[in-house]
C-alpha cells in the first residue's frame, strides 16, 4: 500500500460503482483513478479501490475490505454502496470501521435523480418499495424487506439505528448531534430530496472523522460539493465502430438496448450460452464469436453484443460475464474501436481485468452517474470506455452514450 496520504479514498464493491462514484470527484477537477490490479496505485488525488466483493459471502467480503483498508492512508474515506442495497453493505462498512478505528457509519443509498429514496427506513425505487422491484430478486443477495435497518441488522447480527426524515430536516448541527448520540455502529439515515443529502453531508463534515460516510453516488456528490466545479472539457473523439456489451438482466437495460437498436440500426448479436459456458467448447466458441463480430464491425458503425434477453442460467452469472470479457478482448485485437460501452458490474470487471492495463482514468460525465474513462496503459492504452450499472439511465441512455462517443452534442446535463 502506498505511503502517500490521499485526498480521498473510495472503497467500492464492483467496477461500475467504482467508476460512477469516482466520477463525482473527477467533476471537481481531482485526478481520479480506479486500479484494475490490487498492487496498482496510480499517482492521483483520488483512488477508488474496487474490492470486487459484492457477490461474495459476508465474512469473505469483510476480510477483503478489512485487508484493503488496514494500512490505507487518506484524509477522507468514502464507502460506496449499491443504491438498491445489493451486496454486503453492513459487513463491508464494519470492516472499514474496524480497520480505520472509526466509531460508526451512516448508510445512505438515496439518489433522488434516479428515483432512489429512503423514508421511515424504507427504500423505494420510483415510489415502489424495494421488495416489490426486480432488485429484490438478486441471485446472490435476495432481499426479504424494504427496510434498511432490518437488512443491516440481519446481515451483521448487530443492532442498526435509524434517523428519521424529520431529524434530517432540522439542520446540520442538530443532525450531527443525533448521529453522535446514537449507540449503534450502523445508522440508516432517511433522505428523499437532494437537499436532504446536502444536510447529511454537512452534518458528516461537522463530525470531523468520527463517522464513515457510506452511501451511493448521491451522497458522494454532496461530500465533494464544496469543491469548485471543473470546466467541462470534451475528450478526443476516436473514429471507429462502437461496441455495446451487456450481461445485465435488469429490465431497464433491456429497454435501453431496444431503443438503441431502433435509433442506431445496429445489429444485435446474442451468443450460444450453452457452448460459451461449456469448458469443452468455450475457447472455440469465443474465437468464433470474435470473428463474427469483427466481420460485422467492418461493415457497420457498431454492434450490440448481449445476453440480456436470454434465459437465466443459475450459478453461471460470473462465468457468462467472464466469457463475454474474453470475447471482447479477442475482438479488440482485431478491430480498433471508437468506443466500448459496458453494462453491468461483473461484465465490466470481466472485460477490464483482461485489458492488460493497470488502471482506468476517469475523464468525463456522459449522463448522470455514467462516466467515460480511458485505459492509462497497456496494449489498448487510450481506449475510451463508458460503464453503466444495469439499472442506471432512462430508456434512451445507450443511444445518448453512443452519440457522446461519436462526438455529438446530445449529452446531458
Burial class for 307, CB neighbours closer than 10 Å (0-12, 13-18, 19+): buried
Q: Is 65 a member of any domain?
A: yes
DSSP 147: B
Q: What is the pLDDT of residue 400?
A: 94
In a shared domain, residues 310 and 396: yes
Q: Is 141 a member of any domain?
A: yes
Q: What is the pLDDT of residue 344?
A: 81
pTM metric for this prediction: 0.84
Q: What is the pLDDT of residue 294?
A: 94
Q: Is 412 a member of any domain?
A: no
For 149, 153, 353, the CA distances from 156, given in Å and listed in that order, are 11, 5, 31
Residue 121 contacts residue 186 (beta carbons within 8 Å): no
End-to-end CA distance of the chain: 37
Residue 34 contacts residue 66 (beta carbons within 8 Å): no
Last residue of a domain, one of 171, 196, 223: 223
Q: Is 235 a member of any domain?
A: no
* C-alpha cell of residue 54: 459484492
Place of cell 466481420: 295
Three-state DSSP at 215 gives strand
Q: What is the pLDDT of residue 228?
A: 61
In a shared domain, residues 308 and 385: yes
Q: Residue 337: CB partners within 8 Å, gap ≥ 6?
A: 240, 241, 242, 243, 297, 383
In a shared domain, residues 219 and 256: no
In a shared domain, residues 137 and 282: no
Instruction: Count how many domains the chain has.
Output: 2
For 57, 62, 109, 162, 300, the CA distances from 119, given in Å and listed in that order, are 28, 28, 11, 10, 48
Q: Is 231 a member of any domain?
A: no
What is the Cα–Cα distance from 131 to 41, expressed in whole angstroms?
39
In a shared domain, residues 105 and 200: yes
Q: What is the pLDDT of residue 379?
A: 87
Assign residue 361 the CATH number of its domain.
3.40.980.20
Count, in order, helices (H) and strands (E) of the chain: 14, 18
The boundaries of the domain holding residue 370 are: 242-405
Q: What is the pLDDT of residue 276?
A: 86
Last residue of a domain, one of 165, 191, 223: 223
- Which value, in Å, is the radius of gyration of the alpha carbons in the chain? 21
User: Beta strand 160-163 with 116-119: parallel, antiparallel or unpaired?
Assistant: unpaired
In a shared domain, residues 185 and 313: no
Q: What is the pLDDT of residue 354?
A: 84
What is the Cα–Cα distance from 347 to 253, expressed in whole angstroms?
13
Q: Is 34 a member of any domain?
A: yes
**CA within 13 Å, CB half, 141:** 21
Assign residue 181 the CATH number of its domain.
3.40.50.10840
What is the Cα–Cα distance from 377 to 34, expressed in whole angstroms?
13
In a shared domain, residues 205 and 333: no
Q: Is 297 a member of any domain?
A: yes
User: Beta strand 370-375 with 359-367: parallel, antiparallel or unpaired?
Assistant: antiparallel
Instruction: Give the pLDDT of the chain (413 residues) as one tens digit per residue.
Output: 445 788 899 999 999 889 999 999 998 889 999 998 877 788 889 999 999 999 999 999 999 999 999 989 999 999 999 999 999 999 999 999 999 999 999 999 999 998 999 999 999 999 999 999 988 988 788 899 999 999 999 999 999 999 999 999 999 999 999 999 999 999 999 999 999 999 999 999 999 889 999 999 999 999 998 666 554 545 555 678 999 998 888 888 999 999 999 998 899 999 888 888 888 888 899 999 999 999 999 988 999 999 888 887 777 777 888 888 889 889 998 999 999 999 887 888 888 888 888 999 999 999 888 899 999 998 899 999 999 887 788 899 999 999 999 885 433 33
Q: What is the pLDDT of residue 155?
A: 97
Dihedral of the alpha carbons of 120, 124, 129, 135, in degrees to the nearest 10: -130
User: Beta strand 46-50 with 32-35: parallel, antiparallel or unpaired?
Assistant: parallel
Q: What is the pLDDT of residue 230?
A: 55
In a shared domain, residues 203 and 253: no
DSSP 234: P
In a shared domain, residues 360 and 309: yes
In a shared domain, residues 219 and 337: no
In a shared domain, residues 21 and 94: yes
Amino acid at each position: 500500500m502506498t505511503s502517500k496520504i490521499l485526498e480521498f479514498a473510495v472503497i467500492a464493491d464492483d467496477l461500475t460503482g467504482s467508476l460512477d462514484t469516482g466520477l463525482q470527484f473527477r467533476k471537481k477537477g481531482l485526478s481520479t483513478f480506479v486500479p484494475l490490479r490490487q498492487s496498482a496505485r496510480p499517482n492521483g488525488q483520488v483512488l477508488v479501490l474496487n474490492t470486487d466483493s459484492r457477490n461474495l459471502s459476508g465474512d469473505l467480503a469483510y476480510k477483503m475490505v478489512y485487508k484493503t483498508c488496514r494500512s490505507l492512508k487518506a484524509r477522507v474515506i468514502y464507502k460506496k454502496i449499491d443504491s438498491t442495497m445489493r451486496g454486503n453493505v453492513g459487513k463491508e462498512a464494519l470492516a472499514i470501521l474496524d480497520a480505520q478505528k472509526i466509531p460508526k457509519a451512516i448508510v445512505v443509498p438515496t439518489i433522488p435523480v434516479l428515483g432512489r429514496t429512503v423514508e421511515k427506513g424504507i427504500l423505494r425505487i420510483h415510489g415502489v418499495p424495494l421488495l416489490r422491484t426486480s432488485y429484490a430478486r438478486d441471485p446472490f443477495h435476495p432481499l426479504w424487506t424494504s427496510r434498511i435497518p432490518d437488512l443491516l441488522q440481519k446481515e451483521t447480527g448487530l443492532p442498526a439505528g435509524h434517523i428519521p426524515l424529520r431529524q434530517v430536516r432540522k439542520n446540520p448541527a442538530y443532525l450531527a448531534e443525533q448521529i453522535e448520540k446514537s449507540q449503534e455502529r450502523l445508522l440508516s439515515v432517511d433522505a428523499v430530496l437532494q437537499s436532504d443529502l446536502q444536510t447529511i453531508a454537512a452534518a458528516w463534515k461537522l463530525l470531523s472523522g468520527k463517522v464513515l460516510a457510506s452511501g451511493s453516488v448521491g451522497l458522494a456528490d454532496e461530500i465533494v460539493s464544496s469543491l469548485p466545479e471543473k470546466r467541462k472539457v470534451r475528450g478526443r473523439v476516436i473514429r471507429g465502430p462502437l461496441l455495446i456489451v451487456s450481461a445485465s438482466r435488469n429490465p431497464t437495460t433491456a429497454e435501453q438496448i431496444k431503443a438503441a437498436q431502433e435509433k442506431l440500426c445496429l445489429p444485435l448479436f446474442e451468443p450460444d450460452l450453452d457452448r460459451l459456458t461449456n469448458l469443452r467448447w468455450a475457447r472455440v466458441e469465443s474465437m468464433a464469436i470474435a470473428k463474427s463480430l469483427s466481420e460485422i464491425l467492418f461493415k457497420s458503425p457498431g454492434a450490440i453484443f448481449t445476453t440480456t434477453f436470454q434465459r437465466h442460467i443459475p450459478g453461471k452469472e460470473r462465468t457468462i460475464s467472464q466469457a463475454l470479457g474474453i470475447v471482447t478482448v479477442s475482438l479488440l485485437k482485431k478491430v480498433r474501436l471508437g468506443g466500448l460501452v459496458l453494462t453491468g458490474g461483473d461484465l465490466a470487471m470481466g472485460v477490464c481485468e483482461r485489458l492488460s492495463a493497470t488502471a482506468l482514468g476517469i475523464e468525463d460525465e456522459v449522463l448522470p452517474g455514467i462516466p467515460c474513462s480511458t485505459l492509462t496503459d497497456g496494449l489498448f492504452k487510450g481506449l475510451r470506455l463508458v460503464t453503466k450499472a444495469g439499472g442506471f439511465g432512462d430508456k434512451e441512455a445507450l443511444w445518448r452514450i453512443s452519440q457522446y462517443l461519436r462526438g455529438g452534442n446530445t449529452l446531458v446535463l
